[in-house]
Amino acid sequence: MTKTTTITEGELEDLRGTVRAFLAEYSGEQAVRRAVAADPGYDVDLWRRLATELGLPAMAIPEAYGGDGFGLVTLGIVLGEMGRAMTPGPFFSSVILAAGALLASGDETACSTRLPGIADGSVVGTLAVVEADGAWRTDGFATTAREDGGSWVLTGEKTLVPEGSSADLLLVAASTPAGPALFAVDAGAAGLSAGALRTLDITRPISRVALSETPAVLVGDLGAARQILADVLVRASVALAAEQVGAARACLEMAVAYAKEREQFGRAIGSFQAVKHKLADMLARVTLADAAATEGLRAADGFDDAPPAAVAAAVAHSVCSEAFMYVAAENIQVHGGIGFTWEHPAHLYYRRAKADQLMFGGPAVYHERLLATLGV
C-alpha cells in the first residue's frame, strides 16, 4: 500500500483548503482569461509558485527522485482544486502524463535524470501518443524509430499533444522492429517542430508535433511501450476524473448560487420545482462522480479493498466524463441567456467538459475499454 495511508482525512482537508485559497487568490476567472491569452497559454509565474511555494508537482513523485512520495489519492485533492479553478498550466501533462510514463517504464536512469526536474517544476514534460486518427493506442504507431550508430532517431507526426509547444521534454511512443517503445526527446532537438492547434478548450493548450530524423533516447525496454502506456492510461484516467469532479462541483455551486439570487415573477428561480429538480439531478451526478473518482484513485494507489485499477479507471473516466458534461450544460441552462455569453465563465467549464470527454477516446471508446477490462 502507498504512503497515502499515512495521510489523515484532516490533513487532506488542510491540503484542499490551502490549494483552494491559493488558487482563489491567484487563479480567479480574470487571471485565467489573462493566462490563456498569453504565451505559452498559462501563467509561468504561477506555475513556478505552485512548484516552489506549494511543492505540488513533487507530491506524487517518489522521494528517490526528488518528490514527496505520496499517491494519487493525495494528488487527487490538488487535481480537484485545479479543475475547480480551471487553472491553465502543465500540471496534467508534466506530472500525470510525463512523470507517469517515466515511472511506468521502470528505467532507473531515465527516472533519476528526468524526474527531479519535473518534481521541482523546472522541467515541463508531456507525452506524445496520439496520431492522425485521434486514437489513444498502445501499438501500431506510424511514428517510427530507427537505430543510427548506437543512437535512435524518430520520424513521424503526433497530434493532440498537451503543452506540446512549450514542453521541455517530450516522451514519444514509436514503432521499432522489436515492437512499440518510448523515447525521450528534448525541446530544441534537431528535426523537432511543434505548432499549437485551435481547440475547443482554451484552458489546456494542445499541439501537433512533427519529428524528422529527430535524436531520441530510449526509455525503458525496447518493445515495452504497450504496458507502459496501459499503466499511464490508468493513472491519467483517474487523475482526469478527479479534475472533472472539482470542475463539476464548481458548476453546481455556481448554478445553486444563481438560482438563489435571480428572481422571476417576484420569486427566486430556485423556488420553482423545475429548477429544483434540475439542481437535484446535478447534485446526484456530482455525488456519483465523486464516488467513482475516489474509488479510481484508491485503486490506482493499490489499496487492498479497491477493485482492479484498470476497471476502476475505466469506470471513473466514463462516469465522471458523463457527469461533468451534464452538469456543465445544465449550469448554462440555469443561468439562462447569460450562461451563453463569452463574459460568463460557464462556457469555460462546458468547453473543458467536452474536451475531457474526448480525451483518451469518446464515450464509445471508453465503454468498449471498460467491457474489455471486464473480459466481456
Q: What is the mean pLDDT of residues 330-344?
A: 92
Domain end (from 123, 148, 173): 123
H or E element that contains 175: strand 169-176
| Closest to 7 in 3D by CA, of 56, 66, 63, 75 | 75
| Closest to 236 in 3D by CA, of 107, 108, 94 | 94
**237 and 136 share a domain?**
no
**66 and 85 share a domain?**
yes
Q: Could you tell me the CA-to-CA distances from 212 to 93, 159, 216, 323, 360 in Å, in that order?
A: 23, 15, 11, 41, 26
Domain end (from 74, 106, 123): 123
Q: What is the DSSP letter of 271?
A: G
Domain end (from 188, 204, 223): 223
Assess whether pLDDT exceeds 80 at residue 1: no
| Assigned domain for 62 exists | yes
Contacts of 194 (CB under 8 A, 6+ apart): 161, 164, 165, 207, 208, 209, 210
| Assigned domain for 4 exists | no
Q: Is the peptide bond before 177 cis (omega within 30 degrees of 0)?
A: no
Assess whether pLDDT exceeds 90 at residue 376: no
**181 and 273 share a domain?**
no
| Assigned domain for 3 exists | no
The count of domains in the chain is 3
CATH number, position 213: 2.40.110.10
Contacts of 347 (CB under 8 A, 6+ apart): 332, 339, 340, 341
Q: What is the DSSP letter of 109?
A: H
List pLDDT tens digits, range 244-273. Answer: 999 999 999 999 999 999 999 999 999 999
Task: Give the distance from CA 224 to its chain's centroid.
Answer: 23
Q: What is the mean pLDDT of residues 204-230?
A: 97
Look up the domain containing 369 and give its range: 226-374
| Closest to 179 in 3D by CA, of 216, 136, 226 | 226
Q: What is the mean pLDDT of residues 283-301?
A: 97
Position 221, amino acid: D
Q: Could you tell me the CA-to-CA distances from 164 to 27, 113, 143, 301, 339 in Å, in that order?
A: 22, 20, 16, 28, 31
Assess whether pLDDT exceeds 50 at residue 5: no
CATH number, position 358: 1.20.140.10
Contacts of 323 (CB under 8 A, 6+ apart): 244, 245, 248, 285, 286, 288, 289
**177 and 258 share a domain?**
no
List pLDDT tens digits, range 26-64. Answer: 999 999 999 999 999 999 999 999 999 999 999 999 999
List pLDDT tens digits, range 66-80. Answer: 999 999 999 999 999
**196 and 297 share a domain?**
no
| Closest to 238 in 3D by CA, of 166, 167, 313, 338 | 313
Structure confidence at residue 4 (pLDDT)? 47
List pLDDT tens digits, range 114-167. Answer: 999 999 999 999 999 999 999 999 999 999 999 988 899 999 999 999 999 999
Interhelix angle 363-373/309-334, rounded to 10 degrees, is 150
**88 and 173 share a domain?**
no
**Nine-digit cell string for 173:** 511512443
Share of the chain above pLDDT 90, in %: 90
**pTM for the whole structure:** 0.95
| Assigned domain for 2 exists | no
| Assigned domain for 56 exists | yes
